[in-house]
């Protein structure tokens, strides 16, 4: 299986009404050097200024970003290439949010999602491993959480690798 850690930045709470501003992905392996990143042109006139501000971009800047359809086609190619015919597994810190955007954009712009119909949540995995629903994995990140999606995905991938090592998690990477 190919675990792919994904992070999304958006200008609002839901896809369709609002836009994915950028996203990043990291193939989870010992090197964490296989990454994907795109900035996307808005698909809607609506945006929440506070949500957009998290990304560090202005609305005017986002209007110059990549075509969302092409970005999702490029991402699908990348996912298939790095998976090397293994099943790609989508995992993120907040998969309820990140998955919602990625899945919607894939289906809306390409008609299918190379990850299929399911995703995994890093936070829930950690809570299960340590048997405590009040614990948080974020202390296991090495890369700073900057709200650049590749940095954030890399930090989360580092945490997954730490969980694998420290708790002898059986996971095929």
Active-site residue 147, yes or no?
yes
Q: Which of 113, 34, 22 is nearest to 71 (CA)?
A: 22
Q: For residues 74-113, b (16+ Cβ closer than 10 Å) or e, as one string?
A: ebbebbeebbeeeebbbbbbebebbbbbbbebbeebeeeb
Catalytic residue among 108, 139, 145, 147: 147
Read off the tokens for 108: 């809306």
User: Which residue in this structure is represented by tokens 């699908």?
Assistant: 76
The CA distances from residue 167 to 20, 126, 130, 160, 163, in Å, are: 34, 10, 8, 10, 6
Rounded to whole angstroms, the Cα distance separating 122 from 162 reads 12
Q: Residue 22, exposed/middle/buried by CB under 10 A (0-12, 13-18, 19+)?
A: buried
The whole-angstrom distance between residue 131's C-alpha and the CA centroid of its chain comes to 25
Q: Which residues are catalytic?
A: 147
């Amino acid at each position: 299986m190919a675990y792919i850690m994904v992070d999304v930045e958006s200008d609002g709470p839901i896809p369709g009404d609002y836009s994915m501003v950028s996203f990043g992905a990291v193939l989870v392996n010992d090197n964490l050097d296989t990454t994907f990143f795109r900035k996307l042109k808005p698909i809607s006139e609506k945006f929440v200024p506070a949500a957009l501000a998290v990304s560090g971009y202005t609305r005017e800047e986002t209007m110059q970003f990549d075509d969302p359809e092409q970005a999702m086609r490029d991402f699908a190619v990348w996912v298939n290439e790095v998976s090397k015919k293994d099943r790609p597994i989508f995992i993120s810190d907040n998969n309820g949010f990140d998955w919602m955007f990625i899945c919607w954009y894939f289906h809306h712009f390409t008609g299918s999602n190379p990850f299929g119909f399911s995703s995994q949540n890093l936070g829930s995995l950690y809570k299960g491993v340590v048997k405590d629903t009040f614990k948080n994995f974020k202390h296991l990140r090495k890369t700073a959480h900057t709200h650049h999606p590749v940095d954030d995905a890399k930090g989360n991938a580092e945490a997954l690798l730490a969980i694998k090592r420290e708790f002898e998690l059986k996971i095929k990477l």
